[in-house]
Amino acid sequence: MKLSKILIKRLKEATKYAYAPYSKVQVGALLYCSDGKIYTGANIENSSYSLTMCAERVALFKGVSEGARDFSLLLLYSPQYDFIIPCGACLQVLSEIAPEILIVTMNKDEEFKFFPLHTLLKKPFKIRS
């Protein structure tokens, strides 16, 4: 799969908005919808670590808050970490809102690794009805 230079540029731009004074790890996320809409996010840390928000959920919540639901691709990048993947909390949220999403992670050389969500989160939490 070849990702467009425009998507890569938008992803790297999003990463610049990270607020990461504690970890020093900047993360950018780009969500691509089947209708071509794009939502970006960056990680936002807080001294009360549990209140930190990952880039993936920032992008996802931006999209959901604007009515988007048909997410097809999540692209991630960190200049400090090769092929960063979502944390467990992000995977859980993605499993509910975008269970069929393809997660693509990129390194500094613009090389990619591809992960269908179900390969990273084998058994998501679900409330039984």
- Known catalytic residues? 56
Q: What is the CA radius of gyration of the chain?
A: 14
The CA distance from 125 to 61, in Å, is 19
Helix axes 55-65, 88-97, angle to 10 degrees: 20
The CA distance from 111 to 27, in Å, is 16
Helix, strand, or coil (residue 21): coil
